[in-house]
Structure formats: structure tokens, C-alpha cells
């Protein structure tokens, strides 16, 4: 009984929704998996958008030469602005990151308590 409870907890810890699949709660599992993937994709595209917005502004201002065949200067320029990108990215993705952590915690708690209630029945 304790071993299965531990397995459900560990499954949910690895990726949100896996503990629900372990507990044979497929609808809940898919809910957590799809919500988690949606938040991860939102964070990824938000970061990508902020990166390209800054690069676009600097190309328009004439700081970077807009030559697609010379990507080296653009990449080195982006690396030099890494601190700015990270602060801008944190500003844009702060709420989704906390949402992702909340989903993860909720998934772990749900898998743990769902399995313990199933064991007590």
C-alpha cells in the first residue's frame, strides 16, 4: 500500500499528470498534462517573442545590420544583451512560471491524496 502511494507521488513529481495516470484517472491525467504543456508553450513563445522584439527594435534603430547571411553579428549581439533578455523574459513569464509551479504542486497533491483515499476504500 505504501509502495503504491510512493509510486503515485513519484510519478506526479516527474511530470504533472503522470501520478493521475498511475492512479488510473486518465481524464485528470490528460487535464494536468495538457495544461502543463500549454503553459510551457506559452512561456517558450513569450520568451521567443521578447527576444525577437528586442532584436527587431535594434535592427530598425540601425544597431544591427539586417543581413540574413551574416547571422554571426546578430547572435553575438544577442549574447551581449543576455542580461537584458533574462530580465525582460522574467517580467513577461513570471505569472506563467508560478502557474506552472502551482499546477505541478496540485498534481502531486492530487495524486497523493487520490491514491491514499483509494487505498482506504
Instruction: Give the angle 16-98-47 at the CA atoms, nearest 5°.
Output: 95
Q: What is the average pLDDT value for the chain, to the nearest integer?
A: 79
Say whether pTM exceeds 0.75: no
**Contact at 8 Å (CB) between 40 and 108?**
no
The model's pLDDT over 18-52, given as tens digits with 9 standing for 90+, comes to 888 888 889 999 999 999 999 999 988 887 887 77
- Band of residue 102 on the pLDDT scale cut at 50, 70, 90: very high
Cα separation, 118 vs 104, whole angstroms: 21
**Contact at 8 Å (CB) between 19 and 6?**
no
Amino acid at each position: 500500500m505504501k509502495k503504491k502511494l510512493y509510486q503515485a507521488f513519484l510519478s506526479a513529481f516527474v511530470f504533472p499528470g503522470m501520478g493521475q495516470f498511475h492512479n488510473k484517472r486518465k481524464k485528470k491525467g490528460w487535464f494536468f498534462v495538457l495544461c502543463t504543456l500549454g503553459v510551457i508553450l506559452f512561456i517558450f513563445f513569450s520568451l521567443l517573442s521578447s527576444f525577437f522584439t528586442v532584436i527587431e527594435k535594434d535592427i530598425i534603430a540601425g544597431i544591427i545590420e539586417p543581413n540574413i547571411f551574416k547571422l554571426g553579428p546578430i547572435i553575438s549581439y544577442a549574447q551581449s544583451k543576455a542580461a537584458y533578455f533574462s530580465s525582460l523574459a522574467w517580467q513577461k513569464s513570471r505569472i506563467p512560471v508560478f502557474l506552472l509551479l502551482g499546477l505541478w504542486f496540485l498534481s502531486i497533491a492530487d495524486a497523493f491524496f487520490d491514491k491514499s483515499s483509494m487505498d482506504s476504500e
